[in-house]
Each structure stands twice: as C-alpha cells, then as structure tokens.
Amino acid sequence: MENSRRDFVKKALKGAAAVSIGGILPGVSARSYAGIIGANDRIRVASMGVNSRGMAVGCNFAKQPNCEVLYSCDVDSRASDKFIVAVEKIQKKRPQAAPDFRKALEDKAVDALIVAAPDHWHAPAALLAAKAGKHVYLEKPCSHNPNEGEMLIAATKKYGKVMQMGNQRRSWPNVMEAIRELKAGVIGRPYFAKTWYTNNRASIGKGKETAVPSWLNFDLWQGPAPREQFRDNIVHYNWHWFWNWGTGEALNNGTHMVDLARWGLGVDYPVRVNSSGGRYRYQDDWQTPDTQIINLEFDNNTFISWEGRSCNGRNVEGSSVGVAFYGEDGTLVIDGGNSYTIYDLKNKVIKAVKNDVVIDARNNMNPSEQLDALHINNFFDAIRKGSSLHSDILSGHQSTLLVQLGNIAQRTGRTLNIDPKTGHILNDPEAMKYWSRTYEPGWEPAV
C-alpha cells in the first residue's frame, strides 16, 4: 500500500518533491537517511487537531518523504494518544504530546503548523503560528468570519510565511486539467456554475449540560469563542452546526465546490448575494441551515449557486458533491472525484475523464489521501523552493468569503450588495455586524 502510494505521488509530481531517496547512501533507508540533520530539507511539523479529519491529514504529512511530525496537539487526550501511536508506526519516531499547541510553536525545530481544529480556531491558530515564524497548512475554511480572513492576508505579508488552505482539489490532476479545458473554451464562455453537496445526516438531538469529560480541555477547545456550558452533543463533530464554533454546511463542504466554481469562472468578489433555507429536517439544537441555496452574482455577467442538503442525500448529476459549468457551447461537470465530463448542447458526451483513485466524498475523515498528498507536496515546494501555491491565502479567503457572505445573507434575511473590488458589504450596518465576531476576553486574535 505504501509503495503504491509513493509511486502515485512520484508519477503525479513528475519526480519532483516526492521522489524516493532510498539508495543514496549504501545500506541506509530513506526514512533513516531523512533522520540525518539537514538531510533532504526535512520539514518538521506540529499537528493541531488530530481527531478524525485531523488524524488523516497529520498521518498524510507523516507519510511524505522528508517530513517529520514532531508534535501531536489536541485538547482530547484520547485523540492525541491515538494519533501518536499512528504516526509512530508511519515514521518510526514518536511525536511528542503538546495539548496546548502554543507550546509546540515555541520549539524552534518546528517549521510548520497543521491546523485541523474546529473552524473557530482556524484563523487565530494560523495567526499565532505566523507570528512564531512558522508556515501554516490551514484546513478549510480559512476563517470563521470575513475579518479573520483579511487578518490572515495581512499576516502573510507581515511575516512572510507560507500559508496554504486545504482546498485540496486545487492540486488534483484531472480537476486541474478540467479547469484548464474550461478556460481554453471547451464549452465556450462559461456563465453559470452550479455547485452542491448532499448527505443524510442524523439529528443531533437536544444537548444536556453535563460535566466536562476528564479527557477534554474544554476551555482550550473553546479558545477564542465566547464561553458556553459543555453539552453532550457538541464534541466532536456537531460543533459544525452551532454558530459560536462552526460555519454550517456552506463552509464545511460548500467551500470546496464554490472554490472550483470561482476558479473556473475567473471571478473574485460578487456584486450581489442572497440565500434561502433553514433547519427543516429535525427539531433539535442544530442552528445552521440543513437545506440552503446561496446565489452569487458577478459583474462579468456570471453566476454561481450552491445547494446544500445535509439531510437528504439524493445525488445531483450522479454525485453527492460537485460543480457543473454551463456555457455557450455545452456543459462541464466535475463530480466528487478526480474526474470530469464534457457535454455538448444536446447532452452528448464529448469527453469523459475517469477517476483514477477511489474517493468517498461523504467520508468525514479521509476521502482522498493519495490525491491530497499532492496538495501537501505543493505546500512543501513553496517552503523549500518558493514555488507558487495552488491555494494561497488570498485565494483561500476569496473562496471562503463567498460562502460566508451567503451565510450573512441567510442570517439577515435579505440580499446583500457587495463591492466587487473588496468583497465588502455595502450600506448595510446590520449585515456588517457579522463581518467579525465577539471573542472571549483575552483571546482576541491579532496580526
């Protein structure tokens, strides 16, 4: 399995960052050679948030040649212990536990921080890492609110650190090829992109206030978010559906597809945004919409829509997640995998590029490890060689902002007018209240 993974990465990267180094020194393995100080420009990382998706991302880093995971940072001691065991099996060296990631940032040996904690921690943790002189691999969404995204852009300029958002499809070869074809005019001028995500999520019920479990540092888990009492239906995944910590399905999964739509249409900021939806399926504590349609209009006569259905998994175009570009001469569909199909105006297939890796888009933990390794290696190349990022933080912010604006339109109940040069909401003080957030005193992020 490991050899096949390495072969895939080597072919996809055409022998660049992921080429095996075994055999450079007689009788020395690639992993042991990488243990020599200074050998192969090893990148040492601390991984913040190592449960579920964080476990998958951190282990993927550990599997990359010339990378070493030095720290496991999680407020859940059970998750951290499990991650340490998993990483040790991969890299044959045990990472240290640092429940408070800020302690890991004090170590000069750490080159980069992986941020896979809940959304309310994304930007604050990335800002602290940049200040500490660390590069940042930041899972999507890059921020909990628009102001934090702008702070991240300012921080990259101020501290000069590499910051890549984890919208991994930007590095998937066939997806990249699909966007190239689109921009080359394969369906004429594309003017509408429909994006979607569907699932069959269960009710989260009514939470009960209870004692914080012994394995959880709930105060640090909440961090910059205003304090709420611990309830038994928040940790771990259900925080996505509470505004205090999460950002709803729109940013949880919508960010990926809206990002592809923005990329394909070649747009930055919209001129108008509206949203309809709500919590329809169950009567429980879930606050964000389980059904939502966000519409984004741009000043170059193009349009993006996002349809999120958290509690009805009926596919669109045969896929639970995807984006369809509609143009003057046809349609291009990118489904949940590393594949795409092009149709003419009579719905005849004129080209179908198949998926070469099995992907389960509804897998919350690790839907696409081999392909995601390409995004990680792009991050490494930016650090080692100064290569261009496939998703720098400006681009990441622009895509994240689109769905954030959708959520703001949803929460205010009206259409937002937007400055297409800055992405800022125009003439709406009530809507602008959502541009930032209230922080727990003493935890306010800063550049």
Quote the pLDDT of residue 357. Answer: 73
Q: How many CB atoms lie within 10 A of CB 32?
A: 13
Are 178 and 326 in a shared domain? yes
Q: What are 135-175's pLDDT values in tens digits?
A: 999 999 999 999 999 999 999 999 999 999 999 999 999 99
Q: What are 308-366's pLDDT values in tens digits?
A: 999 999 999 999 999 999 999 999 999 998 999 999 999 999 999 998 776 666 655 55
User: Residue 34 falls within a domain, yes or no?
Assistant: yes
- Band (pLDDT 50/70/90 cuts) for residue 368 is confident
User: Could you tell me if 249 and 410 are in contact, meaning their C-beta atoms sit under 8 angstroms apart?
Assistant: no
| Bridge partners, 293 (sequence order) | 276, 307
Q: What are 53-70's pLDDT values in tens digits?
A: 999 999 999 999 999 999
In angstroms, rounded to a whole number, what is the distance separating the alpha carbons of residues 205 and 231? 11
| Alpha helices (H) along 132-172 | 146-159
User: Residue 439 falls within a domain, yes or no?
Assistant: no
pLDDT surpasses 90 at 1: no
Q: Which residue has the tokens 């939502």?
A: 292
| Phi, psi (degrees; rounded to nearest 5) at 422 | -125, -20
User: Could you tell me if 435 and 146 are in contact, meaning their C-beta atoms sit under 8 angstroms apart?
Assistant: yes
Are 210 and 150 in a shared domain? no
Domain span at residue 223? 171-361+393-432
SS3 state at 100: coil
Quote the pLDDT of residue 364. Answer: 55
In angstroms, rounded to a whole number, what is the distance separating the alpha carbons of residues 36 and 42? 9
Average of per-residue pLDDT across 224-240: 97
Report CA dihedral (236, 238, 242, 246) to the nearest 10 degrees: 60
User: Helix 369-385 to helix 53-63 angle, to the nearest 10 degrees?
Assistant: 60
Q: What angle do CA 368, 333, 259 make, to 5 degrees?
A: 60
DSSP character for 225?
S
pLDDT surpasses 90 at 191: yes
Burial code of 262-298, b = ≥16 C-beta within 10 A, e = fewer?
A: bbbbebbbbebbbbebebebeebbbebbbbbbbbbbb
- Final residue of a structural domain among 168, 185, 216: 168
Quote the pLDDT of residue 362. Answer: 65
pLDDT surpasses 70 at 178: yes
CATH number at residue 32: 3.40.50.720
Between 278 and 33, the more confident residue is: 278
- Band (pLDDT 50/70/90 cuts) for residue 379 is very high
User: Residue 146 falls within a domain, yes or no?
Assistant: yes
User: Residue 373 falls within a domain, yes or no?
Assistant: no
Instruction: Report percent pLDDT > 90 for the chain.
Output: 87
Q: How many domains does the chain have?
A: 2
In angstroms, rounded to a whole number, what is the distance separating the alpha carbons of residues 46 and 67? 11
- Final residue of a structural domain among 168, 191, 219: 168
Among residues 205, 207, 199, the alpha carbon closest in space to that of 249 is found at 199
Are 162 and 179 in a shared domain? no
Average of per-residue pLDDT across 408-413: 98
Among residues 281, 341, 347, 270, the alpha carbon closest in space to that of 309 is found at 281
Quote the pLDDT of residue 361. Answer: 61
Are 145 and 195 in a shared domain? no
Are 108 and 204 in a shared domain? no
Q: How many CB atoms lie within 10 A of CB 176?
A: 16
Q: Give first-to-last CA distance, the chain, whole Å.
A: 42
Are 155 and 263 in a shared domain? no
Quote the pLDDT of residue 254. Answer: 98
Are 111 and 139 in a shared domain? yes
- Side chain identity at residue 168, one-letter code: Q
DSSP E strand stretches across 40-93: 43-48, 67-73
Quote the pLDDT of residue 335. Answer: 95
Are 15 and 58 in a shared domain? yes
Q: What are 14-59's pLDDT values in tens digits?
A: 433 332 222 223 333 334 334 433 345 899 999 999 999 999 999 9
Are 333 and 190 in a shared domain? yes
In angstroms, rounded to a whole number, what is the distance separating the alpha carbons of residues 403 and 416? 13
User: Residue 54 falls within a domain, yes or no?
Assistant: yes
Is the four-CA dihedral 390, 392, 398, 402 of positive or negative sign?
Answer: positive
How many CA atoms lie within 13 Å of 242's alpha carbon, on the beta-carbon side?
24
- Side chain identity at residue 65, one-letter code: P
User: Residue 437 falls within a domain, yes or no?
Assistant: no
In angstroms, rounded to a whole number, what is the distance separating the alpha carbons of residues 369 and 390? 17
* Average model confidence (pLDDT) across the chain: 91
Quote the pLDDT of residue 356. Answer: 73
pTM of the model: 0.90
- Band (pLDDT 50/70/90 cuts) for residue 223 is very high
Instruction: Report percent pLDDT > 70 for the chain.
Output: 89
Q: Region of 299 please: left (phi>0), alpha (psi -120 to 50) or beta.
A: alpha
- Band (pLDDT 50/70/90 cuts) for residue 369 is confident
CATH number at residue 416: 3.30.360.10
Are 152 and 187 in a shared domain? no
User: Residue 102 falls within a domain, yes or no?
Assistant: yes
pLDDT surpasses 50 at 227: yes
SS3 state at 166: coil
User: Residue 371 falls within a domain, yes or no?
Assistant: no
Are 146 and 195 in a shared domain? no
Average of per-residue pLDDT across 220-244: 98
Are 317 and 233 in a shared domain? yes
Structure tokens at 231: 């309830």
- Final residue of a structural domain among 122, 137, 168: 168
